[in-house]
């Protein structure tokens, strides 16, 4: 953990049931020009996009909508959306959706000032860009925390790649738990497991700071308490609210401290095999924790209770037991083979995961090719 740190969060965060009604005024305070609403076909069919668009229009904004962001979008999908934004001369971007939509919105807004292909920015942190379009993000899941993170993950040539730039960062996050109210159980679970992994990985990350750990710990506690309840009964607004807040906190933590080996190993499973991101995380998490805790127990010791004076090893045991119990309660998948992963493909998956240096080098302990493969084998 570093005692010298910088910290970045959206300029404004608005949270709570019904808070989406503030969005039109917040947008118009920044710009009275044309608004680009980015969303996905499911949210259009569910009427969610219309609810937001109507509120913006009623406040006097002219709204154009791009609704073709698929789940796990490819870079080409986002490129099409960027062209649409340029053609429509949009001055503001409003993203309404899950992590895929919000990540796409960040790329469209953050890279609006340049004309180079987006592919030329993959996997590098670009600080040379001119300001893009102001970004307003409204999540409809409680998971990715994309409303608080910089940059985005997209598919490109069967791999999950990262795009990040100075301006691919939300200006305003509007987190209204009511928008998660009708999520199906499978998405509630997978997105909650992503938030859980963000909380734990960011806490133990090498780039963790005392400030990021405040958010990691708070998120972890909320998720342990509320994820089982929200999966059991998605209609409870109290549980939905706590999970939306947990995902936001975990997003803030991971935006500033970064993730680790679980995410590095999860991306090839998503990119090549299509294992949902949160589920891939949940399968890998206990195995990575065992590896990390064996040599770096102090990285996790304060996750549950800062005032606990027992040894780091004992406190780590509690963290691992809490995670295992939570995953058991939630009945999460535990084996990669159940998703069609072939045993013979594990070395190729490990080779790809080992190239994701920004995550492995941020992991609590060094993670060599043998450790990567050992985790895949244990999870297979």
Which parts of this chain interact with Fe ion (CB under 5 A)?
Answer: 194
For residue 328, give every residue at least 6 positions away whose Cβ sits within 8 Å of its Cβ, in sequence order, or none.
none
What stretch of H or E contains 174? Answer: strand 172-175
Closer by beta carbon to Fe ion, 313 or else 355: 355
CB of 340 to Fe ion, least distance (A): 21
CB of 300 to Fe ion, least distance (A): 18
Find the angle CA(188)-CA(193)-CA(195) to the nearest 5 degrees.
95
Closer by beta carbon to Fe ion, 138 or else 196: 196
Q: Quick one: 57 exposed, middle or buried, by C-beta within 10 A (0-12, 13-18, 19+)?
A: middle
Closer by beta carbon to Fe ion, 118 or else 265: 265
Closer by beta carbon to Fe ion, 153 or else 373: 153
Query: Can you read off the two tokens belonging to residue 110?
Result: 């953050």
How far CA 276 is from CA of 69, 190, 251, in Å, comes to: 17, 7, 18
Cite the beta strand spans of 26-166 per DSSP E: 35-38, 63-66, 92-97, 125-126, 135-139, 152-156, 159-165
Closer by beta carbon to Fe ion, 79 or else 194: 194
CB of 143 to Fe ion, least distance (A): 8
CB of 360 to Fe ion, least distance (A): 15
CB of 112 to Fe ion, least distance (A): 25
| DSSP for 277-303, written as a single string | HHHHHHHHHHHHHHHHHHH-GGGTTTT
CB of 139 to Fe ion, least distance (A): 13
Find the angle CA(350)-CA(353)-CA(358) to the nearest 5 degrees.
150
Query: Can you read off the two tokens belonging to residue 12?
Result: 């404004």
68 vs 80: CA distance, rounded Å:
9
The residue nearest Fe ion at its CB is: 194
Closer by beta carbon to Fe ion, 39 or else 197: 197
CB of 263 to Fe ion, least distance (A): 6
Nearest to 196 by CA among 237, 152, 227: 227
Closer by beta carbon to Fe ion, 268 or else 297: 268
Nearest to 168 by CA among 145, 134, 200, 196: 134
């Amino acid at each position: 953990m570093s005692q010298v740190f910088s910290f970045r969060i959206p300029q404004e965060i608005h949270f709570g049931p019904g808070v989406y009604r503030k969005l039109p005024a917040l947008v118009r305070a920044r710009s009275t020009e044309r608004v680009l609403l980015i969303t996905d076909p499911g949210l259009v069919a569910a009427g969610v996009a219309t609810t937001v668009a109507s509120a913006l229009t009623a406040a006097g904004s002219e709204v154009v909508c791009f609704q073709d962001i698929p789940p796990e979008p490819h870079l080409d999908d986002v490129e099409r959306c960027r062209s649409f934004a340029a053609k429509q001369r949009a001055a503001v971007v409003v993203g309404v959706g899950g992590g895929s939509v919000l990540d796409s919105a960040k790329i469209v807004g953050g890279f609006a000032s340049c004309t180079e292909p987006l592919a030329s920015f993959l996997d590098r942190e670009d600080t040379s860009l001119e300001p893009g379009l102001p970004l307003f993000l409204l999540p409809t899941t409680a998971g990715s925390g994309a409303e608080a993170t910089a940059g985005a993950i997209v598919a490109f040539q069967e791999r999950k790649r990262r795009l990040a730039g100075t301006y691919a960062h939300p200006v305003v996050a509007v987190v209204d738990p009511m928008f998660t109210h009708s999520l199906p159980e499978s998405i509630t679970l997978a997105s909650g497991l992503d938030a859980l992994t963000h909380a734990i990985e960011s806490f133990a990350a090498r780039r963790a700071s005392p400030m990021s750990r405040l958010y990691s710990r708070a998120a972890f506690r909320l998720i342990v308490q509320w994820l089982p309840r929200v999966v059991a009964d998605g209609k409870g607004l109290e549980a939905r609210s706590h999970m939306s807040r947990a995902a936001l906190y975990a997003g803030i933590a991971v935006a500033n401290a970064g993730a680790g080996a679980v995410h590095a190993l999860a991306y090839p499973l998503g990119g090549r095999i299509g294992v949902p991101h949160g589920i891939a995380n949940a399968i890998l998490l206990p195995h990575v924790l065992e590896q990390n805790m064996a040599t770096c127990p102090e990285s996790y010791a304060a996750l549950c209770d800062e005032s606990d004076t027992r040894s780091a090893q004992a406190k780590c045991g509690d963290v691992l037991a809490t995670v295992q119990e939570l995953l058991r309660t939630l009945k999460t998948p535990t084996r990669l083979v159940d998703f069609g992963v072939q045993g013979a493909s594990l070395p190729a998956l490990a080779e790809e995961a080992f190239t994701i240096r920004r995550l492995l080098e941020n992991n609590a302990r060094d993670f060599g090719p043998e450790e990567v493969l050992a985790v895949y084998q244990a999870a297979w």
